[in-house]
Amino acid sequence: MEQLAKKPTDLDKYVFLHTIQDSDETLFFAILTTHTEKVMPFVYTPTVGEACQKWGEIYRHTPRGLYISINDAGSIDSILDNHPHQDVKVIVVTDGERILGLGDLGVNGMGIPIGKLALYTACAGIHPEQTLPVHLDVGTNTEGLLKSPYYMGLRQKRDRTQAYVDLVKEFFAACQKKYGRNVLIQFEDFGNTNAFRLLEDHQKTATTFNDDIQGTASVVLAGIISSLGMTKKARVADHRFVFLGAGEAGVGIADLIAIAVRHETGCTLEEARAKIWLVDSKGLVSNARPDKLADHKLHYAHAPPPSHANPSSGNALLDAIKSIQPTGIIVVSAQGQTFTKEICEEMARINEKPLIFALSNPTSKSECTATQAYEWTNGAAVFASGSPFDPVTLKDGRRFVPGQGNNAYIFPGLGLGAVACDATSVLDDDMYVAASALAAQVTPEDLASGCAYPPLSDIRNVSLHIAAAVAENMVKSGRALSKPKRGESYVDMCRRSVYTPKY
Ligand code: NAD
């Protein structure tokens, strides 16, 4: 840890840690499990963003993960044979099209599956030999990469033909053949034109989920549930939300909020969705929009409120806030610094305790800083961000600990639960259960400091309890091949699968 502290830049710290991973995996995971909060930013967001941008430049001699190109179609079976470990339980796969909020990074996106799987081990104890990072290389549309001498992927534009869909299909079939029907396959950082349809294509026949859509939704819902007291609401159903960003994260979160409201009130999903409004790059999503809306936005194309007839501020989010009067805003547009003082002030004018979740990653894409959110609302905001921010002390001495709506709160625990019970599917209902289990572990002390999430230092314990809740849901709904032994609790059953690095 002293050597790590002496590395001059965050990227140097990233390379240093991964060099340890390449040479002494046990030490790497011992560091990650002992100092999770300190090292996570150098293993995952925000540093992994820069690492991916410079992937070719920082590439080291030890290969990690499988790169499968579209030219390998027909041979995926034999490519999987090249991986040294056979007992794979969790796969994270990307095609590199939408890496964090940084766009299309082609094969440089491999840093994300590697980082996420490190967190599966660090945060929940999935054995490192049971994890497999995969990149499906179908080209990139980023000219700079195609021209870079350091770029290691196919030098061609992205394949958007049926061959791409077939490659993903072959990949799923090969993984299930080799590792078993119930191997958990997590979609990661696919562009939203593919993400929704691929999830739909595979979710019924494989144990799979998309972390950008469903994992994000679960962690954000957990923050909304845990902060109900802070926002002075009795139920999620008492909120009204405006989103900026209507992509994977935005629509995924909106859909899960609607499921939570249905659970709480017994209303229909349509009724629940009526309290959720989306703003995308073209303005308020509504049924009055002249352009053709993408399918995933259609559920939220409500009739625009009469007061929205003449939006006047020139800022679509501010106009939406003025006409819809939300209790919470959730921002996932990856535009960086899109919040104005006026937006936060307006939220604080409408609400005693506005919920403001500014979730775009990495830090350069965050809509505002934690300091801005607290200062602009005079400490009223219940704030969470995507990338970490330090605690903030206002001029009057009040101190706030901003929550980080980090997906690492959910996917490792969810994965552990699925692995422990040999789950046959992952459903949105599991995401709701995971969110409720996470929210239940936020303590009164966390809430007193303004934080809607538990400390990351407690993540292994948190993940174990999420795993137990999820496994119980899977077993009880008949979607699991294993169940607890007689007299064993779900927590104990999940604990049996946990790897602890001994150093
Ligand atoms: P996406 O590409 O699927 O969606 C982005 C959306 O933003 C699109 O709907 C687009 O129309 C909209 N948008 C773009 N420019 C806009 C503008 N100027 N005004 C309004 N909307 C605009 O991406 P995504 O998967 O939804 O991710 C979005 C961001 O959320 C990324 O930065 C990602 O890192 C972040 N994210 C954070 C977390 C987390 O903190 N837990 C989880 C997932 C995603």
Predicted confidence (pLDDT) per residue in 265-316, tens digit? 999 999 999 999 999 999 999 999 999 999 999 999 999 987 777 777 788 9
Of ligand 1's listed atoms, the one at least distance from the Cα of 192 is: 3
Beta carbons of 410 and 218 less than 8 angstroms apart: yes
Name 309's Cβ contacts closer than 8 Å, sequence gap at least 6: none
pLDDT recorded at residue 361: 81
Residue nearest to atom 28 of ligand 1 (CA): 332
Percent of the chain with pLDDT over 70: 100
Mean pLDDT to the nearest integer, 488-502:
96
d(CA 273, CA 62): 48
Q: Is any atom of ligand 1 closer than 6 Å to the C-beta of 329?
A: no
Residue nearest to atom 36 of ligand 1 (CA): 360
Containing 363, the helix (H) or strand (E) segment is: none
**Probe residue for ligand 1, chosen from 194, 277, 332 as the CB with the greatest number of ligand atoms within 8 Å:** 332
Of ligand 1's listed atoms, the one at least distance from the Cα of 98 is: 2
Cα 336 to ligand 1 centre (Å): 10
Q: pLDDT tier at 335 (50, 70, 90 boundaries)?
A: confident
pLDDT recorded at residue 337: 75
Structure letter (DSSP) for residue 351: -
Of ligand 1's listed atoms, the one at least distance from the Cα of 246 is: 9
pLDDT tens by residue, 248-275: 999 999 999 999 999 999 999 999 999 9
Name the catalytic one among 13, 116, 275, 365: 116
116 is catalytic: yes
pLDDT recorded at residue 77: 97
pLDDT recorded at residue 101: 87
Q: Exposed, middle or buried by CB within 10 Å (0-12, 13-18, 19+), for 266?
A: exposed
Residue 338 has pLDDT above 80, yes or no: no
Q: Is any atom of ligand 1 closer than 6 Å to the C-beta of 214?
A: no
Q: Is any atom of ligand 1 closer than 6 Å to the C-beta of 126?
A: no
E strand residue ranges, 351-434: 355-358, 382-385, 392-393, 399-400, 403-404
Residue nearest to atom 3 of ligand 1 (CA): 247
pLDDT recorded at residue 340: 83
Q: Is any atom of ligand 1 closer than 6 Å to the C-beta of 49?
A: no
